[in-house]
């Protein structure tokens, strides 16, 4: 299916719908704090370093999106805390994939030392993205994809908010470079295009509906961070290729896709169908334990905070 005449539309995709909720660095900082046990406004502020107005706006948005519940914990005086809903808990797989990528590729050292322990086997572990059918570790190189019944085009809702990539580097946490990347919806959208085989500036622009200056800025930034490489293909033309660091970002997009397909699927069905080439089956993401290779349940993940 090709783009409609209206230039500036984007191919609908569950990744984009998920990014409309979490594709914001400040939102990711708030969620990171919640995953590490923070519930109350003051604690969120201390942990994220966000301005009160920004924090209050992001909390409101997460409540509206059904990711957090706002629950009173005291009646006199009336005070609320924010608890992660089951929809928010399902975002946890994305968090684990983000953490995995950060630890493998980030050039900025984490300011918090968080260790994961798998309650089922008792060992420290790293999360491994695997195929639920054959159990192999997932690599973007092994995925075939085709458009599903729910594919369509929609006008993007541009946000006037300025991206604050720097916020992720300043807040104490474990997700820094990945929060800058996932927190920038346009950057993630560019990567989605390149993962589906589009490599030239004009192709990516048609697919994402981005203005030239915005696309150009993102491509430069992604190249500087080592996620993309630029290759001369002759005739004065060049194309963008994913580096190993870029290819390894795929499990983050996949986890976002799963979440988006769960909560924002259109009535016609999913917009994108994926197949795991080694086993030939439709791809389903299973996050597994690096120590025991067993599948991980959300409640089996224990944290230890280092000094």
Token output for 175: 């997700």
Spell out the residues 6+ positions from residue 101 whose beta carbon is closer than 8 angstroms to its own: 178, 248, 249, 251, 252
291 lines the binding site for Zn ion (CB under 5 A): yes
If the CB atoms of residues 128 and 179 are measured against Zn ion, the closer one turns out to be 128
**Stretch of residues binding Zn ion (CB under 5 A), selected from 183-191, 205-213, 243-251, 285-293:** 285-293
* Residue 10, burial from CB neighbour count under 10 angstroms (0-12, 13-18, 19+): buried
Q: Which one among 81, 239, 279, 295 touches Zn ion, defined by CB under 5 A?
A: 279
Distance CA 46, CA 33 (A): 10
63 lines the binding site for Zn ion (CB under 5 A): no
Q: Which one among 118, 185, 206, 218 touches Zn ion, defined by CB under 5 A?
A: 118
133 lines the binding site for Zn ion (CB under 5 A): yes
**Stretch of residues binding Zn ion (CB under 5 A), selected from 79-87, 179-187, 217-225, 270-278:** 270-278
Spell out the residues 6+ positions from residue 235 whose beta carbon is closer than 8 angstroms to its own: none
140 lines the binding site for Zn ion (CB under 5 A): no
96 lines the binding site for Zn ion (CB under 5 A): no
Distance CA 29, CA 172 (A): 9
Q: Kindly state the smallest distance separating residue 213's Cβ from Zn ion, in Å.
A: 41
Distance CA 191, CA 198 (A): 9
Measure the CA dihedral 195/200/201/204, to 10°.
-30
Q: Kindly state the smallest distance separating residue 39's Cβ from Zn ion, in Å.
A: 28
Range 156-175, binding Zn ion (CB under 5 A): none
Find out whether 10 and 156 touch, Cβ atoms under 8 Å. yes
Distance CA 4, CA 20 (A): 22
Q: Which one among 110, 114, 265, 292 touches Zn ion, defined by CB under 5 A?
A: 292
Greatest Cα pair distance in the chain: 72
If the CB atoms of residues 100 and 118 are measured against Zn ion, the closer one turns out to be 118
Burial state string for 268-293 with b = 16 or more CB within 10 A and e = fewer than 16: eebbbbbebeeeeeebebbbbbbbee
Distance CA 276, CA 281 (A): 6
Question: By three-state DSSP, how is residue 79 classified?
Answer: strand
Q: Kindly state the smallest distance separating residue 240's Cβ from Zn ion, in Å.
A: 28
Q: Kindly state the smallest distance separating residue 305's Cβ from Zn ion, in Å.
A: 20
Q: Which one among 3, 36, 65, 121 touches Zn ion, defined by CB under 5 A?
A: 121
Distance CA 295, CA 289 (A): 6
Q: Which one among 276, 285, 288, 301 touches Zn ion, defined by CB under 5 A?
A: 276
Q: Kindly state the smallest distance separating residue 99's Cβ from Zn ion, in Å.
A: 16
Length of the chain: 307
If the CB atoms of residues 64 and 134 are measured against Zn ion, the closer one turns out to be 134
116 lines the binding site for Zn ion (CB under 5 A): no
Tell me the site size for Zn ion, rule CB under 5 A: 10
**Stretch of residues binding Zn ion (CB under 5 A), selected from 19-27, 40-48, 98-106, 124-132:** 124-132
**Stretch of residues binding Zn ion (CB under 5 A), selected from 3-11, 37-45, 99-107, 274-282:** 274-282
Contact residues: Zn ion, CB under 5 A: 118, 121, 131, 133-134, 276, 279, 289, 291-292
């Amino acid at each position: 299916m090709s783009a409609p005449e209206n230039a500036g539309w984007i191919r609908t995709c569950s990744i984009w719908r998920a990014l409309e909720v979490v594709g914001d660095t400040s939102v990711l900082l708030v969620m990171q704090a919640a995953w590490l046990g923070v519930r109350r406004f003051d604690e969120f502020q201390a942990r994220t370093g966000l301005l009160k107005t920004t924090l209050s706006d992001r909390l409101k948005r997460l409540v509206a999106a059904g990711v957090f519940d706002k629950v009173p914990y005291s009646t006199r005086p009336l005070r609320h805390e924010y608890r992660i809903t089951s929809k928010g808990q399902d975002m946890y797989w994305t968090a684990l994939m983000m953490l995995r990528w950060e630890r493998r590729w980030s050039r900025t050292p984490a300011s918090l030392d968080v260790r994961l322990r798998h309650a089922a086997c008792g060992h420290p572990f790293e999360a491994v993205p695997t195929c639920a059918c054959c159990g192999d570790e997932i690599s973007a190189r092994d995925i075939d994809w085709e458009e599903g019944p729910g594919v369509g085009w929609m006008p993007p809702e541009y946000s006037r908010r300025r991206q604050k990539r720097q916020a992720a580097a300043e807040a104490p946490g474990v997700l820094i470079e990945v929060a800058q990347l996932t927190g920038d919806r346009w950057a993630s959208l560019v990567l989605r295009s390149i993962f589906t085989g589009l490599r030239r500036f004009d192709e990516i622009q048609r697919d994402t509906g981005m203005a030239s200056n915005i696309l150009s800025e993102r491509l430069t930034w992604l190249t500087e961070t080592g996620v993309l490489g630029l290759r001369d293909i002759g005739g004065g033309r060049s194309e963008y290729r994913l580096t190993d660091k870029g290819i390894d970002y795929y499990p983050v997009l996949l986890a976002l896709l799963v979440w988006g397909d769960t909560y924002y699927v259109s009535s016609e069905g999913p917009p994108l169908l994926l197949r795991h080439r080694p086993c030939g089956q439709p791809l389903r993401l299973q996050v597994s334990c690096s120590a025991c290779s067993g599948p991980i349940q959300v409640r089996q993940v224990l944290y230890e905070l280092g000094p």
